[in-house]
Amino acid sequence: MAGAIVSSDVKRRGWGGVWLVVVLYLLVTAWLSFHLNVWRDEMYSLHTSSGSVGRAARQGILFELQPPVYFAALAAWRTLGDSIFFARLLSSLFGAGAVLVIARIADRWVPRVRPAYAAALLASHPFLIWAGTEIRVYALVILLSALLTLAFLEAYWRPEPSRRARLMFAGVALVSLYTQFYLSLLLVCFGVALLARRGRPSLWAYVVDAGAVMALSLPLVLALRAQFASHRGDLGRQVGIGVETLRLVVARFEAYLFSFNDAIDQARWSLPAMRAARWAYRALIFATIGVGLVLFRRKVRDSLPSARPETGSLAEAWPFVAAITTYAVCMAGIVVAVGPMSVGARHTAGLLVPALLAVTAAPAVALGRSAAVSWVAILVASNVAATTLVQFVPLAKDCDCRRVAEAITEHEASREPILIFPSEDVMPLAVYYHGKNHLVPVPSAPSYEHWDQSTFVIRSPDDVADALVKEAPGGVGLWVHTNTYGPGWGPEKLEAFLAHGFREDQKYEFAHGVVLRHFVPGDLSAAQ
């Protein structure tokens, strides 16, 4: 295993390039953060962190139903500045930190991959760029997963782990679990990697340290139970073990590793065109992998009689490959136990760094540095194209509330209430709309104190009529803002209300499926 250990005096290769990548990442995320509208999830974060650090920690647990570290950190950060842009800047810094850490891992543990290449692969990834513009926990999760990976390698992948490195790992692990529940999966993944490497005393040291971390995290168990109980309806139907579970797990890896799929999914194409584009993209990736396998077989054949690469070389990729393989098994179990929504991109953000390290290290080990450079170039190009199409072209987050507000302000007349469905969109829309009419969330305004999805459901057309009479009686026209979010919350009841006594005369479409319509009533009081 001596070849797997990179000495402490290893030369830092290409760190000027790493810092250039970090600066570019900060510039891109800062520019996007300034121009993108705020949306419902960010509004919850802003409210949760609007008071003291202690209050933010309590609200994080009781209302957000998440561990408290991010919300406490956000509350402390916002004492320096209270704008939306400044709140997003914290996530940009977390993302930049993750880029630096993955470069450090490549420098010390994957010497066949230059740090700048690993940094570029992560920094260009559309998910990290998105996370760096979100007032949510995800950029911090990615940073902690990178730190957890580095600390694990330093503490346990060496023949003789130091006490200092073990304490560092335990500290990072504890903070990670108090930031997001899903990061506990990485502890399982790293344990399996050590177990498969049999005969190492570091395995027992890891078991002891990880056990202590889990024991100190027991208070989170109650919060975890509360989260699952509250989100049971949101997590969706249960899925048994079978093809669908495998498809969901593969789709998550596809989204992280082959990022252009996300751009295809968000394109406004016909379903056949989207399927064709997806398979064409897959064909390109599979062809590239196939060429790599052929070259690898040729290399192995030419290296006879040894007929295999150096053991030390394989060890460079092994911890990352073992980790993501174990993570895939864990994801399948979570899908079966909880439901498909439990393995969304936001929930499994801790997988991103190990996955990118695995797909970078493996070709470098098998085929050498030049092959790794070509592979990374393909993935970075895919990332940049996807980011351009997903982020820069629409230049809007979900709700697209800034543009919706501008459209209403430009075309509205007095006494034209604005129905908002789903009702949560009233929170970000109120940030941008300051016109002459009332915003009317349907069926009622969301609560910042108690999370209950049942309050977002329109159960009857009468719910719409009641909200309109209560908030804005006597209107002479009607604006209706709808979103594709919440398809099970009764949009058909809203349409049934509108079909009775109203006539649509204007329609505007925005990013992410947001539609704004204007209605003229024949007799508004009769329709109500």
Q: What is the pLDDT of residues 314-339, one digit of tens each?
A: 556 677 777 878 887 777 777 666 66
Q: What is the pLDDT of residues 380-436, one digit of tens each?
A: 988 998 899 889 989 999 999 999 999 999 999 999 999 999 999 999 999 999 999
Q: Which of 305, 485, 364 is nearest to 114 (CA)?
A: 364
Report whether pLDDT(280) > 80.
no
pLDDT band of residue 223 (cuts 50, 70, 90) is: low
Q: How confident is the model at residue 98 (pLDDT cuts 50, 70, 90)?
A: very high
Task: Give me the mean pLDDT over the 148-156 stretch.
Answer: 92
pLDDT for res 305: 44
pLDDT beyond 70 at 277: no
Could you give the percent of the chain with pLDDT greater than 70? 78
Phi then psi for residue 309, to 5 deg, are -70, 170
CA proximity to 385, closest of 260, 218, 496: 260
Classify 7 as helix, strand or coil: coil
Which range has the worst mean pLDDT, 10-24, 45-59, 299-313?
Answer: 299-313
Separation of first and last alpha carbons in the chain = 77
In this prediction, residue 295 carries a pLDDT of: 58
List, in order of start, the domains of the chain with CATH numbers.
Answer: 12-392 (no CATH), 401-527 (3.40.50)
Model confidence band, residue 448 (pLDDT cutoffs 50, 70, 90): confident
Q: How confident is the model at residue 306 (pLDDT cuts 50, 70, 90)?
A: very low
Dump pLDDT digits (tens) for 450-472.
Answer: 878 888 999 999 999 999 888 88
Distance CA 49, CA 46 (A): 5
CA 401 to the chain's CA centroid: 21
Q: Is the dihedral of CA 66, 67, 72, 78 positive or negative?
A: negative
pLDDT confidence band for 228 (50 / 70 / 90):
low
Whether the pLDDT of residue 240 is over 90: the answer is no
Q: What is the pLDDT of residue 175?
A: 97
Residues 162-180 have pLDDT tens digits of: 889 999 999 999 999 999 9
pLDDT of residue 110: 83
- Determine the Cα–Cα distance for residues 319 and 357; give it in Å rounded to an integer: 10
Residue 186 has pLDDT above 70, yes or no: yes
How many C-beta neighbours within 10 Å does residue 8 have? 7
Whole-number pLDDT of residue 368: 72
- Tokens for 386, please give them: 């996807």
**pTM for the full model?**
0.88
Q: For residue 294, is pLDDT > 90?
A: no
Per-residue pLDDT averaged across 484-492, rounded? 88
Query: Average pLDDT in the 18-30 region?
Result: 97
The predicted structure's pLDDT at residue 443: 93
**C-alpha separations of 236 from 62, 338, 341 in Å:** 22, 8, 6
* Predicted local confidence at residue 268, as pLDDT: 63
pLDDT surpassing 70 at residue 108: yes
Helix (H, G, I), strand (E, B) or coil at 505: strand
- Per-residue pLDDT, 480: 96
Confidence (pLDDT) at 473 = 83
User: Which are the contacts of 165, defined by CB distance < 8 A and separation ≥ 6?
Assistant: 151, 154, 155, 158
Q: What is the mean pLDDT of the chain?
A: 83
Least confident of 73-82, 259-268, 365-374: 259-268
339: left (phi over 0), alpha (psi -120 to 50) or beta: left
How high is the pLDDT of residue 304? Answer: 44
Contact 440, 468 (CB under 8 A): yes
Element containing residue 419 per DSSP (H, E): strand 418-421
More confident residue, 203 or 406: 406
Confidence check: pLDDT of 146 > 90 = yes
User: Whats the size of the chain, residue-wise?
Assistant: 528
Sequence-separated (6 or more) residues with CB below 8 Å from residue 29: 88, 91, 92, 95, 129, 132, 133
The mean per-residue pLDDT over the stretch 105-111 comes to 87
pLDDT greater than 60 at residue 234: no
The predicted model gives 99-118 an average pLDDT of: 90
| Residue percentage of the chain with pLDDT more than 90 | 49
According to the model, what pLDDT value does residue 28 have? 98
For 39, counting Cβ atoms within 10 Å of its Cβ (0-12 exposed, 13-18 middle, 19+ buried), the class is buried
Question: Average pLDDT for residues 215-231, to the nearest whole number?
Answer: 70
**Secondary structure, 3-state, 286-353:** HHHHHHHHHHHHHHHHHCCCCCCCCHHHHHHHHHHHHHHHHHHHHHHHHHHHCCHHHHCCCCCHHHHH
Residues in Cβ contact with 295 at an 8 Å cutoff, skipping those fewer than 6 apart:
367, 371
Name the nearest CA neighbour of 43 among 421, 396, 428, 397: 428
Q: Is residue 116 over pLDDT 70? A: yes
- In this predicted structure, what is the pLDDT of residue 7? 37
- pLDDT band (50, 70, 90) for residue 6: very low
> According to the model, what pLDDT value does residue 196 have?
80
pLDDT of residue 176: 96
pLDDT at 136: 97
